[in-house]
Chain A
Amino acid sequence: MVELAWLIPAAPLIGFVLILVVGRRLGEPLAGWLAFGAIGVSFLATVAVFAGLLAEEPGERFYVQTLFEWVPAGSFSVNAGLLADPLSITMSLFITGVGALIHLYSIGYMHGDPDFSKFFLYLNLFAGSMLVLVLGDNMLMTFLGWEGVGACSYLLISFWFTDAANASAGKKAFVTNRVGDFGFMLAMFLVFYEIGSIDYGTILSSAPELGSGVATTIVLLLLLGAVGKSAQLPLYVWLPDAMAGPTPVSALIHAATMVTSGVYLLTRMNPVLAVADGWATDTVAWIGVLTAFFAATIALAQNDIKKVLAYSTVSQLGYMFLAVGVGAYVPAIFHMVTHAFFKALLFLGSGSVIHGLDDEQDMRRMGGLAKLMPITAMTFIVGWLAIAGVPPFSGFWSKDEILLYAWNENVALWAIGLVTALLTAFYMTRQVILTFFGRTRYFDPTAEEITAAFDARLDLSEAAARQAQDELVAAHAGVEKAVADVDKRTEAVEIAATKLNDAKAALAAVSAEDDAHTKLAKALEKAEKAVPRAGENLSKAQGSVAEANAEVDRTSERLAEAEVAFRALGARRADLPLPATHVTAASVPPEVGDLADDLPASFDERQEYHPHESPWTMTLPLLVLAGAAAVAGGLNLPFTKDLHFLEHWLEPSLFGNETKLMVSSAGKWGLALIAIMSAVGAIGAATAVYLKGRIAPARIERPALARAWYVDETYARVAGGPGRSGFELAALFDRRVIDGFVNGVASAAGSIGGSLRSTQTGYVRNSALGIVIGSVGVVLWFLSRLWTS
């Protein structure tokens, strides 16, 4: 059965080739099923090899399958071979098992993506590389897989590379990992130099003969590689950014498998760690526990559902490093397995939520989804209980083991680990409450929508004010016109009076018998009538002036009102009742009141949207993983020696390097009790804050935490500041010293006399001078041999 080992990495690689050739033609969903089939075959092969190893005596469970002579270059000879032993097969089992489930899940998740087949192409290549990494029988094979998974990770993070943020996150992962790879390569060279081989079989058997100084150096170099790949302090920054990729990728690569390869590598090399100075392994433990604590604090204040899980992954990997550092290899692998189950479950659950909520990732906009997505919620809760350390779920057992060994080594390690466990329970409870319980905030108007509504209102109000302003201008014009009319009428009254007087005088001057008399009398009569008419007109005009003035008063009043309304709206907009930054599940919806009608179309469309449970291809993996996350603790129950299945199974790979526990049974129970109490306490506290709203979340979610302790900003500043000044210095040296030297030679030669001058930089004579100087040097050296001999 063990002879099937070659098939484990070969199946997904064949799948990769097939999809490469016919993937586009197969299209959706066939390409996905093909990829799933490939990894499924790989899983079955792993099970077969596992059974084959079980049939062997424990001491014989070390099967090397040489595929071909790879690099028989001089003294450096390497075979391409696979090593099936308990450690590598344990890794392969969960890589292929969880991997198959995630492949299945992806068929649903990537539905409708234009690059559907390309996604599975990368996914299969990743699985193949990861299996080469763990199954390789020498460091070069591991390195091949190591680079392969790195490349796939880079490709998959940038999968939606039209998005600039994704492409840049991919680059960040790429660059950060190069730093770590450098450590791995140097470690490999050093091993080859010291032991003369890089086969694990030889390394592991001859490691005890290594000097402690050499072993320490190798461990530290390997640690550098592991810290990069497994996202530990200080090289963890790429992992949170890697969440830009599709969620199944986050689950498979950035939670369950690839990021654990650092832990795998250190565990694989445990005989070297055993020889190294104590401070080297202490460094591993402290890096682990500090990373665990540090990442957990950041996870407290993240609002992106995947970012919480990303920092949580960094934190849990820290636990594994802690375990390796204190020599607790079995708990490290145990936690790796349980973590693969529950973290993949949590990531896939979050993916299901994101899928069901139309790509919403902000937990402030979730809540109450338990009713809408019952399967996702139920499985997520299992994952939460597992990671929070509630017995009997799997995470409790593995984490408790690690803490036990930490206590055994150093109380400070245990204390920090315990506080981290408490923080973990707290932030995971927060996540579950914000996502699945309380009020469904998805339908609430968003800050943007409320702002948009206000802006619509403001526009209306501004228009009204403008209209009032225009009317006021018109009213003022009316008053002016009326006043002008009054002036004209007044003049007319005067004219009429003058005319009457003239007419009276004329009549008096003419005798009554005169012919003109009657005419004049008529004119007088007319003039007498005109006077009261003019008077009447005047008073009418005066009336309209008053009316126009009243109109002015009215419109200016209206304008004032509009202005007040406009200002009031503006003021309200300035301190909008936006959805609170720190929400609790019980928080009330933002007060929109009269604005409701003005909310933009996106709001109305969302009211029509029904958050839904995901298709079976997505929920089935969730159910399976939930089952595994619940019961995986059974792999290594602490009660009696017989129940330590994992420990017995891994024993041949550890060469007795596992630390011996010096804790009494009562002590074990006491520590377990403390762990349970702190987990339950943290869950209670988080419930009080987020479900009951007893304490304002803002008091916990400090900006420094939300911004991840400003580490990214600092890195950017250092790279742009001191890092840049380093470059500047080099450039200065270049300009002053090197250029100066070159120019000095040039001008010295130039002053001797003119010769061929080029259109470019170099002079032929300078080059010739260089040759002559060099020749003189070489000849002198040989002549010096004469004098010395």
Chain B
Amino acid sequence: MLAQTIATPEVPWSLLWPFLLMALGAVVLVTLTSLVPSLRTRGFAAFYTATMAVGSVVSLYWIWNRVQDEGGRIVVLDGALSLDYFFLFTAGTISLAVFFAALLLDDFLRREGLDGPEWYVLIMLSAAGGLMMAAAEDLIVTFLGLEILSISVYVLAALHLRRRDSQEAGFKYFVLGALSSAFFLYGIALIYGATGSTRLSEIDAALFISNARGLTPAEDSSLLLAGMALLIVGFGFKVSAAPFHMWTPDVYQGAPTPITGFMASAVKVGAFAGFTRVFLAAFGRLGNDWRPVIGAMALLSIVIGSFLAIKQDNVKRMLAYSSISHAGFILIGLHSAGSIDAAVSALGSRSVLFYLFAYTFMVVGTFGVATLVGRHGDGAHGLADYAGLSSRQPILAGLLVVLLFAQAGIPFTSGFWAKFGVIEAAVRGESYVLAGAAMVAAVVGAYLYLRIIVSMYLTQPAVEADDVAGPGPIIMAPAATMAIFFAVAATLLWGVLPDVGGDVLRDAATSFLR
């Protein structure tokens, strides 16, 4: 009898390859390197992780074919995970971020004299959490993914043993993350109370029924609204949207630079994937209730990100504020995605997905350059450390210019199309305030990136940067350089030809249309 009550769902292993590669891959890596000390050389772990990331992308392609055969969606594990186009797209983006992180980390660890496969293990585990968030069809699974994602990153942030800043960053991130998780979990509880389920499709069905009975959800249940509010807090923290952004500058500045890049790419994509899925798949019918909050958060994020960035003198801190502002732009897209108008909603989802995709390349490349410029000790991140970079490392400076142009949204970079898509969706949805604010903020925000460019091209270093007492020369480490080149190439490719792979994007954007 017992066997019946805890019947385990059927596990379609072949469809879970991306999760297996990341989660089990991490376990295998830590086991292998413990058992076989000769594999503890630094290059192996990086190569292994990059291979896993590539494998994940390949397996996603295979799953894509399967999903297509099944009409666009396969729900597995008794309704825990939904494998659909949206998942495939975001999971692909997360895998790419892992690939880049592996390339950047390898050189970083060599330079800093740090050891160990633990970095890679944690990155893969964290990515597994991100994949889970992207696919989660149940709020509990979303929470599980969120925690797997976050806890690994807390440790990663603190993992630079010789830098006090790093440990401080990890600690802060952990304390505040725990707080936001509490909010999130409480939100799930309230929603369960209101609808009797944590499954997204069932929440949606419950809302449909109350709709059909002619009730507004508010009449139906105030618990539901309070629960949604708390979920927004939890997600808002993870995507570093204002007013839940305050940890971001400290943590971005303190964390080891490649890890910051990983946080800004994989973590952000994972969190936004969960955010979008939950609010479109479960609360899609309540768009009118939650959209104004999202809009307000978007405005606040853009304003805070664009304006407070201006007074910073630390490049990593600047980029932290810029990532807050980017989160605001993506929220504008989410705001449109919540629209009842199917065309606007599709445009909004599409803009969110393209923004995440384009931003991943930009931000990984940018932090890649910051990793190299940080030099031994990972401390040279002041604006002054970029002075005269154009004459010392002209190639690196040129690559950074492209990446910064992209972040600023200059045409013929992918960043332009990302911002354009968000604004276009807002205009179609007649959210003129948001669209206008986004345009103004894009112009103000450009000042931040120009400051870095001006520093590189128009100022001379105060002291001879390559002298013995300084942090040493900038070493163009091969793997990191390759990663930056990839990132720039992708940024330019999708800048000039924004519709490459447009079909995949369109499919992914319509996953939640009713």
Measuring CB to CB, which residues of chain A are less than 8 angstroms from any residue of chain B? Answer: 69-76, 143-144, 147, 171, 185, 193, 731, 734, 738, 756, 758-762, 764, 766-768, 770-771, 773-775, 777-779, 781-783, 785-786, 789
Q: Is the CB of B179 within 8 A of A783?
A: no
Q: Is the CB of A70 within 8 A of B176?
A: no
Q: Is the CB of B232 within 8 A of A768?
A: no
Q: Is the CB of A775 within 8 A of B183?
A: yes
Task: Output the least CB separation between B497 and chain A (Å).
Answer: 7
Please give, as numbers and ranges, the residues of chain B lying within 8 Å of A185 by CB-CB distance: 411
Most B-side CB within 10 Å, residue of A76, A171, A764: A764
Q: Is the CB of B229 within 8 A of A775?
A: yes
Assembly CA distance A222 to B458 (angstroms): 31
Q: Is the CB of A786 within 8 A of B225?
A: yes
Q: Which residue of A lies closest to B245 (CB)?
A: A770
List residues of B (421-480) whose CB comes within 8 Å of A's CBs. 421, 424-425, 427-428, 458
Please give, as numbers and ranges, the residues of chain B lying within 8 Å of A766 by CB-CB distance: 246
Interface flags, B220-231, vs A, CB<8A=1, else 0: 001001101110
Q: Is the CB of A779 within 8 A of B230?
A: yes
A-B contact count (CB 8 A): 122
Q: Is the CB of A761 within 8 A of B292?
A: no
Task: Output the least CB separation between A146 and chain B (Å).
Answer: 10
List the one stretch of B15-23, B164-172, B196-204, B365-373 in contact with chain A. Answer: B164-172
B498 at the interface (CB under 8 A from A): yes
B499 contact from A73, A762, A770, Cβ within 8 A: A73
Please give, as numbers and ranges, the residues of chain A lying within 8 Å of B242 by CB-CB distance: 774
Please give, as numbers and ranges, the residues of chain A lying within 8 Å of B293 by CB-CB distance: 778, 781-782
Assembly CA distance A89 to B236 (angstroms): 55
Known: A147-B411, A766-B246. 7 other contacts (CB 8 A): A73-B502, A74-B350, A767-B176, A771-B183, A783-B226, A786-B222, A789-B218
Assembly CA distance A773 to B242 (angstroms): 11
Q: Is the CB of B499 within 8 A of A71?
A: yes
Q: Is the CB of A762 within 8 A of B243?
A: no
Q: Which residue of A lies closest to B304 (CB)?
A: A738
Please give, as numbers and ranges, the residues of chain B lying within 8 Å of A773 by CB-CB distance: 243
Task: Output the least CB separation between A54 and chain B (Å).
Answer: 34
Q: Which residue of A lies closest to B234 (CB)?
A: A775
With A72-B502, A74-B347, A143-B411 as contacts: A770 and B250 at CB distance below 8 Å:
no
**A to B CB contacts below 8 Å, 11 in the list:** A147-B412, A734-B311, A738-B308, A764-B171, A767-B246, A771-B176, A778-B293, A779-B226, A783-B222, A785-B218, A789-B219
Q: Is the CB of B183 within 8 A of A762?
A: no
Q: Is the CB of A779 within 8 A of B229?
A: yes
B250 contact from A70, A171, A761, A785, Cβ within 8 A: A761
Interface flags, B239-266, vs A, CB<8A=1, else 0: 0001111110110011000000000000
Q: Which residue of B lies closest to A742 (CB)?
A: B308
Assembly CA distance A764 to B172 (angstroms): 6
Number of interface residues of B (CB under 8 A): 57
With A734-B311, A778-B232 as contacts: A786 and B176 at CB distance below 8 Å:
no
Q: Is the CB of B310 within 8 A of A734?
A: yes
B180 at the interface (CB under 8 A from A): yes
Q: Is the CB of B412 within 8 A of A782?
A: no
Q: Is the CB of B424 within 8 A of A74?
A: yes
Assembly CA distance A715 to B181 (angstroms): 55
B85 at the interface (CB under 8 A from A): no
Q: Is the CB of A758 within 8 A of B176?
A: no
B216 at the interface (CB under 8 A from A): yes
With A734-B310, A775-B229 as contacts: A73 and B289 at CB distance below 8 Å:
no
Please give, as numbers and ranges, the residues of chain A lying within 8 Å of B307 by CB-CB distance: 738
B175 at the interface (CB under 8 A from A): yes
Please give, as numbers and ranges, the residues of chain A lying within 8 Å of B311 by CB-CB distance: 731, 734, 738
Q: Is the CB of A785 within 8 A of B225?
A: yes
Task: Output the least CB separation between B411 and chain A (Å).
Answer: 7
Q: Is the CB of B229 within 8 A of A778?
A: yes
B108 at the interface (CB under 8 A from A): no
Q: Is the CB of B497 within 8 A of A771?
A: no
Assembly CA distance A777 to B233 (angstroms): 10
Q: Is the CB of A770 within 8 A of B219?
A: no
Q: Is the CB of B222 within 8 A of A759?
A: no
With A71-B498, A783-B222 as contacts: A771 and B246 at CB distance below 8 Å:
yes
Q: Is the CB of B175 within 8 A of A764?
A: yes
Please give, as numbers and ranges, the residues of chain B lying within 8 Å of A774 by CB-CB distance: 233, 236, 242-244
Please give, as numbers and ranges, the residues of chain B lying within 8 Å of A73 by CB-CB distance: 417, 421, 498-499, 502
Please give, as numbers and ranges, the residues of chain A lying within 8 Å of B321 by CB-CB distance: none
B355 at the interface (CB under 8 A from A): no
B359 at the interface (CB under 8 A from A): no
Please give, as numbers and ranges, the residues of chain B lying within 8 Å of A75 by CB-CB distance: 347, 424, 428
Please give, as numbers and ranges, the residues of chain B lying within 8 Å of A770 by CB-CB distance: 243-246
B237 at the interface (CB under 8 A from A): yes
Please give, as numbers and ranges, the residues of chain A lying within 8 Å of B236 by CB-CB distance: 774, 778
Q: Is the CB of A771 within 8 A of B175?
A: no
Q: Which residue of B lies closest to A735 (CB)?
A: B311
List residues of B (348-397) whose CB comes within 8 Å of A's CBs. 350
Please give, as numbers and ranges, the residues of chain A lying within 8 Å of B497 by CB-CB distance: 70
Q: Which residue of B lies closest to A781 (CB)?
A: B293
Assembly CA distance A762 to B173 (angstroms): 12
Task: Output the least CB separation between B119 and chain A (Å).
Answer: 23
Please give, as numbers and ranges, the residues of chain A lying within 8 Å of B421 by CB-CB distance: 73-74
Q: Is the CB of A762 within 8 A of B233?
A: no
The 7 nearest A-B residue pairs measured at CB? A774-B243, A767-B246, A782-B225, A789-B218, A779-B229, A770-B246, A775-B233
Please give, as numbers and ranges, the residues of chain B lying within 8 Å of A785 by CB-CB distance: 218, 225, 289
Please give, as numbers and ranges, the residues of chain A lying within 8 Å of B216 by CB-CB distance: 789
Q: Is the CB of B168 within 8 A of A76?
A: no
Please give, as numbers and ranges, the residues of chain A lying within 8 Å of B245 by CB-CB distance: 770
Q: Is the CB of A782 within 8 A of B226?
A: yes
Please give, as numbers and ranges, the residues of chain A lying within 8 Å of B428 by CB-CB distance: 75
Q: Is the CB of A778 within 8 A of B233?
A: yes
Please give, as numbers and ranges, the residues of chain A lying within 8 Å of B229 by CB-CB distance: 775, 778-779, 781-782
Assembly CA distance A220 to B249 (angstroms): 41
Task: Output the least CB separation between A12 and chain B (Å).
Answer: 18
Assembly CA distance A421 to B19 (angstroms): 77
With A73-B417, A785-B289, A786-B222 as contacts: A771 and B179 at CB distance below 8 Å:
yes
Task: Output the least CB separation between B133 and chain A (Å).
Answer: 20
B427 contact from A193, A759, A778, Cβ within 8 A: A193
Please give, as numbers and ranges, the residues of chain B lying within 8 Å of A731 by CB-CB distance: 311
Task: Output the least CB separation between B71 and chain A (Å).
Answer: 24
Q: Is the CB of B176 within 8 A of A764?
A: yes
Assembly CA distance A789 to B210 (angstroms): 15
Please give, as numbers and ranges, the residues of chain A lying within 8 Å of B346 by CB-CB distance: 74
A767 contact from B247, B458, B498, Cβ within 8 A: B247
Q: Is the CB of A782 within 8 A of B254?
A: no
Q: Which residue of B lies closest to A789 (CB)?
A: B218
List residues of B (12-54) whose CB comes within 8 Å of A's CBs. none
Assembly CA distance A408 to B216 (angstroms): 69
Please give, as numbers and ranges, the residues of chain B lying within 8 Å of A758 by CB-CB distance: 168, 172, 250
Please give, as numbers and ranges, the residues of chain B lying within 8 Å of A143 by CB-CB distance: 411
Q: Is the CB of B237 within 8 A of A771?
A: yes
Q: Is the CB of A760 within 8 A of B168?
A: yes
Please give, as numbers and ranges, the residues of chain A lying within 8 Å of B226 by CB-CB distance: 779, 782-783
Assembly CA distance A193 to B426 (angstroms): 13
Q: Is the CB of A771 within 8 A of B244?
A: yes
Assembly CA distance A72 to B503 (angstroms): 10
Please give, as numbers and ranges, the residues of chain A lying within 8 Å of B250 by CB-CB distance: 758, 760-762, 767
With A767-B172, A778-B293, A785-B225 as contacts: A69 and B218 at CB distance below 8 Å:
no
Q: Is the CB of A782 within 8 A of B228?
A: yes
With A75-B428, A147-B411, A767-B246 as contacts: A782 and B233 at CB distance below 8 Å:
no
Task: Output the least CB separation between B318 and chain A (Å).
Answer: 14
Assembly CA distance A773 to B164 (angstroms): 29
Interface flags, B154-169, vs A, CB<8A=1, else 0: 0000000000110010
Please give, as numbers and ranges, the residues of chain B lying within 8 Å of A69 by CB-CB distance: 499
Please give, as numbers and ranges, the residues of chain A lying within 8 Å of B498 by CB-CB distance: 71, 73
B176 contact from A171, A734, A761, A768, Cβ within 8 A: A768
